[in-house]
Amino acid sequence: MIQFGQRIRLTRREIQRFKKITDIEPVGIRTRADLDAYVERCKTHYWGVSKETQFLHWLIDSEYQQCFSLAPIRSPSLSIVVATP
């Protein structure tokens, strides 16, 4: 996922994984709220209490968390120092 302030953009790979897991293409995802709504829509579409449904919800949650765990951590005190020989 690429993040620009409040705006996000899913990578092609993330879009493919969500599509493969849910069979619902994530279109129009521009903010975290959009992604939250997409995840909720998928879980509502695949509702139930079976083990298969619980596993599918877990897959969706895991993919969602993967998007944010790979986002770079921004630190205002972080600086890059290039040393030359």
pLDDT tens per residue across span 55-84: 999 999 999 999 887 544 444 444 444 455
Q: Which residue has the tokens 């998928």?
A: 42
**Per-residue pLDDT, 3:** 86
**CA nearest neighbour of 72 among 13, 15, 3:** 3
Residue 83 lies in a domain: no
Q: Is 83 strand, coil or helix?
A: coil
Q: Which of 9, 46, 45 is nearest to 28 (CA)?
A: 9
Mean pLDDT of 14-35: 96
Domain, as residue range, for 36: 2-69
Pairwise CA distance, residues 34 & 3, whole Å: 13
In a domain, residue 82? The reply is no
Looking at the 3D structure of the chain, how many domains does it have?
Answer: 1
Does the pLDDT value for residue 85 go beyond 80?
A: no
Q: What's the whole-number average pLDDT of the chain?
A: 84
For 21, other C-beta atoms within 10 Å of its C-beta total 15
Instruction: Report if pTM > 0.85.
Output: no
- Kindly state whether residue 81 falls inside one of the protein's structural domains: no
